[in-house]
Amino acid sequence: MIQVAIAGLSLLLIGVPVAFALGLAGMLGVWLFGIPMGVVVTRLFTGVDSFIFLAVPFYILAAEIMSQGGITARLISIASTATSWLRGGTAFANIGASVMFAGISGSAVADSAALGRVFIEEMPKEGYRKDYAAALTVASSIIGPIIPPSGLAILMAAVSGLSVIDLFLAGVFPGLLLGGACAAVVAIGAIRGKLPKPRRIDMSDGVWRMVFEGAAVMTLPIVIVGGMVVGAYTATEGGGIAVAYATFLAVVVFRALDMKGLWRAFLKAARVSATIYLLVAAATILSYALNLLGISSWVSAAASMFEAQPTLFLFAIALLMLILGTFLDIGAAILIFVPLLMPAVYELGIDPLQAAMVVMLTLAIGLITPPVGVVLYVVMRVGNVRMLPLLRALMPFLIAELCAVALLCLVPEFSSWLPSLLNPR
């Protein structure tokens, strides 16, 4: 098993794409166990042979259509208007736009790229430091994979056996908790007078149009999650409805998307979906090999050390995921390690939704930490910001978000209350 781990890490470190690194390491494990390599082909297909995975392309396509349809500018206008009366209002608007954008895209990378282009350019004109604007964009972007609809929640459901709708509902408060952590850092800076004073916004024109557009956009996640809660449709069917609704808004209501833009959205969604499916298939091979080589017994032995301390086990999971998130793709980490950890979670009496949210939040933080923090590199490129100043400005936000993870470990109701209320099991 150690040889497999070393092989996988070595391939990642020399720059081999994640899916190929995982697949090759898994093939090595199968070979070491003496099983015919033809099994690998079967595992590749069975890894993606899940009804839940059919939902992934729909949600990706809906997000792409909304992004291509000029939704970003509308969300920023709404958030800026709502916070214009506060000191540091544009910083609060950055966080608010991320929360709203999370209900559309479900992606930290999309959030940081779309919002970063606007806020990192505009905030310095109002007196903010550029590295501060970039750090805030980075920190708030990881709300995207947590608040529903979330592609990450679909992956989690596929490997953990949990309900997609339960995971969608469980992500609402943890996502808002991350937003609140970022807002607390901004509020402290505003109280200390380190952020610019409120700026005036002319609200005489277009207020009702803005309210209408905002309501139309934010109806999308409500339609998706609400329909699933009442049992009108499954997660996959909800994805199809999301695509139809997003197309209607972008093409008919806002008239911001033509056929060329729609075609670009389809192409990009197809590429992203193919990448995810390849990653899922490769991670399945590696997970199969690790199970053959006895990693399950290792995890069980480690879990037995926390027999009377389930909260401490959650903190251990958080620490493990923070470390893994610094160098491993977030989807790959879920696909490989969640099936190994879930039996121990049940054995220790931990709410599985709480454990799932702890895993998702800590891995999302890995998106903004070097060396593999992909969101960092996106914002550095979009905002033309250097790594060290960005990391220095990011540190207070990172500490606040780690505190949010600690709260999630200590208070299971953050994850379980809304699912138990709206979708009692």
Q: Per residue in 99-141, pLDDT tens?
A: 887 777 667 777 787 788 778 888 888 888 999 999 999 999 8
Eight-class DSSP state of 124: G
Contact 216, 251 (CB under 8 A): no
Question: What is the Cα gyration radius of the chain?
Answer: 22
Reduced to 3 states, what is the DSSP secondary structure of residue 146? coil
Give the count of beta carbons closer than 10 Å to the beta carbon of residue 307: 10
- Work out the number of other CB atoms within 10 angstroms of the CB of residue 36: 8
Query: CA 286, CA 9: separation in Å to the nearest integer?
Result: 12
Nearest to 281 by CA among 50, 14, 37: 50
Residue reference for tokens 């997609």:
164
Helix (H) or strand (E) holding 249: none
Tokens of 206: 């277009």
Name which residue leads in pLDDT, 233 or 394.
394
In this predicted structure, which of 287-296, 360-369, 411-420 has the lowest mean pLDDT? 287-296
- In this structure, what token pair is assigned to residue 412? 């299971």
Q: Is the pLDDT of residue 202 over 60?
A: no
Mean pLDDT throughout 350-379? 87
pLDDT band for position 319 (cuts 50, 70, 90): very high
Residue 144 pLDDT class (50, 70, 90 cuts): confident
Q: How many CB atoms lie within 10 A of CB 214?
A: 18
Distance (Å) of CA 350 to CA 71, 204, 313, 344: 39, 53, 9, 9
pLDDT band at 268 (very low <50, low <70, confident <90, very high): confident
pTM of structure: 0.85
Q: Indicate whether 204 pLDDT > 60.
A: no
pLDDT at 405: 95
Distance, CA of 87 to CA of 187 (rounded, Å):
9
pLDDT for 356 equals 95
- What is the pLDDT, as a whole number, of residue 214? 72
Work out the number of other CB atoms within 10 angstroms of the CB of residue 377. Answer: 15
The amino acid sitting at 395 is M
pLDDT average, residue stretch 172-201: 87
Question: Across all residues in the chain, what is the average pLDDT?
Answer: 83
Percentage of residues in the chain having pLDDT higher than 70: 95
**Buried/exposed code over 240-270 (b: 16+ C-beta within 10 A; e: otherwise):** bbbbebbbebbbeebeebeeebbeebbebbe
Q: Mean pLDDT, to the nearest integer, of 262-281?
A: 86
Residue pair 165/224 in contact by the 8 Å Cβ criterion: no
> What is the pLDDT, as a whole number, of residue 23?
84
Is 305 exposed, middle or buried, given 0-12, 13-18 or 19+ CB atoms closer than 10 A?
A: exposed
- 414 Cα distance to chain centroid: 17
Owner of token pair 């790229």: 113
pLDDT at 425: 56
Q: Are 136 and 318 in contact (CB under 8 A)?
A: no
Alpha helices (runs of H) in 34-129, residue ranges in sequence order: 38-48, 55-68, 71-83, 89-105, 108-122
What pLDDT digit, counting tens, does each position of 41-90 carry? Answer: 888 887 777 777 788 888 888 878 877 776 767 777 777 777 777 888 88
| Residue indicated by tokens 């037995």 | 304
pLDDT band, very low/low/confident/very high, at 423 (cuts 50, 70, 90): low
Which position has the higher pLDDT, 362 or 302? 362
Closest among 336, 239, 333, 277 to 48, alpha carbons compared: 277
- With residue 24 as reference, give the H or E element that holds it: helix 18-33
Residue 159 has pLDDT above 80, yes or no: yes
Nearest Cα to Cα of residue 245 among 155, 386, 254: 254
Q: How far apart (Å, rounded) are the C-alpha atoms in residues 5 and 26?
A: 9
Span 207-261, pLDDT tens digits: 667 777 777 777 878 888 888 878 788 888 888 888 888 888 888 888 878 888 8
Token digits for 241? 């409805």
